[in-house]
Chains A and B, each alone.
Chain A
Amino acid sequence: MDRLAVAAFFGYALTVLAGGLIAVLASSLVRALAGLILTLFGVAGLYLLLSSPFLAFMQILIYVGAVSVIIFFAIMLTRPPAGGEEGERRSLGRTLLALVGGLAPALLLALACWRYGSASNRVPPSVEVGRLGEVLLGPYVLAFELISLVLLVAMAGAVLLGFDRRREP
């Protein structure tokens, strides 16, 4: 059983890595979106391994169901320039900057995590959904209300930005 868990972990981690590489490096944005969806499924599998199935289903529902559709709308509503969206070559300096900017924070945090990380227990506890609801309406009630406010403001702002402003002659 333990070996199965390790194999599943590395399988999901490989899925995340492959999807992330496609999402970042693909020259067509639709392919990048497909890579992102692969990564989202991999992270959902890791949530399942962490014995939080509710989060895994929410991940699939919110990210794969909603956010990727929004990104797909953004791809489809903007016309790509000739030769593909991201086809043109980058300068060497930009690639180097991206490599350093991406690697340096991750490596620093990894060093901190591995040196000063707290001891971890081997088996994650399982939490019932009912307890999640109690915590959401108990200690987290302010965050719960604030996130609904944030969503409302975001939707209103998106609608407002979407209006076509009539140009005065």
Chain B
Amino acid sequence: MNALLDLYNHPAWTHPLQHPLAYYQAVALLLLGLGLFGLIWRKSLVGMLVGVELMLNGAGLSIVAGAQLTRADAAMGQLAALLVMGLAAAEATLVLAITLVVFRRFGHVEPDHASELRG
């Protein structure tokens, strides 16, 4: 109850211009939530990949907002987001290859039904 009251009185509620970091973080967390939802809810590997890309975008946005809007080194934050983009590209390539292998072997790309050990 006390925490809720603190949250209600938080200065971030006043105006986005007074506390912009909280708003950027809210967008980043929105992307994280949507990505996790898609990752669990989707049935095909490609749909799950879309969810992962959403999450990685949220991570990059959070890093850049945290670096640009606090006293942290802005250049390092931007470069960290750039590294996240590079990792996302590598990950997408690998998932494409894995998707192709799964499709070739099972005829579909649904991880729920891709199992060879089921009797």
**Which residues of A are in contact with B by a Cβ distance under 8 Å?**
2, 5-6, 9, 13, 16-17, 20-21, 23-24, 29, 32-33, 36, 39-40, 43, 46-47, 50-52, 54-55, 58-59, 62-63, 66-67, 70-71, 73-75, 77-79, 81, 85-86, 88, 90, 94-95, 97-99, 101-103, 105-107, 109-111, 113-115, 117-122, 124-125, 127, 131-132, 134-136, 139-140, 143, 147, 150-151, 153-155, 157-159, 161-162, 164
Contact A114 B57 (CB under 8 A): no
Contact B22 A67 (CB under 8 A): no
Contact A90 B41 (CB under 8 A): yes
What's the Cα separation between A125 and B23 when bound, in Å?
Answer: 18
| Interface 1/0 per residue, B60-96 and A, CB below 8 Å | 1100110011110111101101110111111111111
- CB contacts under 8 Å to A, within B30-83, are 30-38, 40-47, 49-51, 53-54, 57, 60-61, 64-65, 68-71, 73-76, 78-79, 81-83
List chain B residues, Cβ under 8 A from A52: 64, 68, 74, 78
Contact A132 B34 (CB under 8 A): no
Cross-interface CB contact of B96 among A94, A110, A139, A158, cutoff 8 Å: A158
Q: Contacts A94-B41, A115-B7; is A13 near B27 (CB within 8 Å)?
A: yes
Contact A70 B29 (CB under 8 A): no
Q: Contacts A50-B65, A117-B22; is A58 near B85 (CB within 8 Å)?
A: yes
What's the Cα separation between A106 and B54 when bound, in Å?
Answer: 13
What's the Cα separation between A70 and B31 when bound, in Å?
Answer: 21
Contact A21 B34 (CB under 8 A): yes
Q: Contacts A40-B57, A70-B93, A94-B41; is A59 near B85 (CB within 8 Å)?
A: yes
What's the Cα separation between A29 and B97 when bound, in Å?
Answer: 18
What's the Cα separation between A5 and B27 when bound, in Å?
Answer: 16
Q: How far is the CB of B83 from chain A (nearest CB, A)?
A: 6
List chain A residues, Cβ under 8 A from B70: 118-121
Contact A63 B85 (CB under 8 A): yes
Q: Determine which residue in A16, A40, A50, A140 has the highest number of CB atoms from chain B within 10 A of its CB, and name it.
A: A50
Cross-interface CB contact of A113 among B6, B25, B79, B89, cutoff 8 Å: B25
Q: How far is the CB of B67 from chain A (nearest CB, A)?
A: 9
What's the Cα separation between A159 and B98 when bound, in Å?
Answer: 11
11 pairs, CB–CB < 8 Å, chain A vs chain B: A23-B54, A24-B37, A39-B54, A50-B68, A63-B85, A73-B96, A102-B34, A102-B40, A114-B22, A121-B70, A162-B100
Contact A110 B29 (CB under 8 A): yes
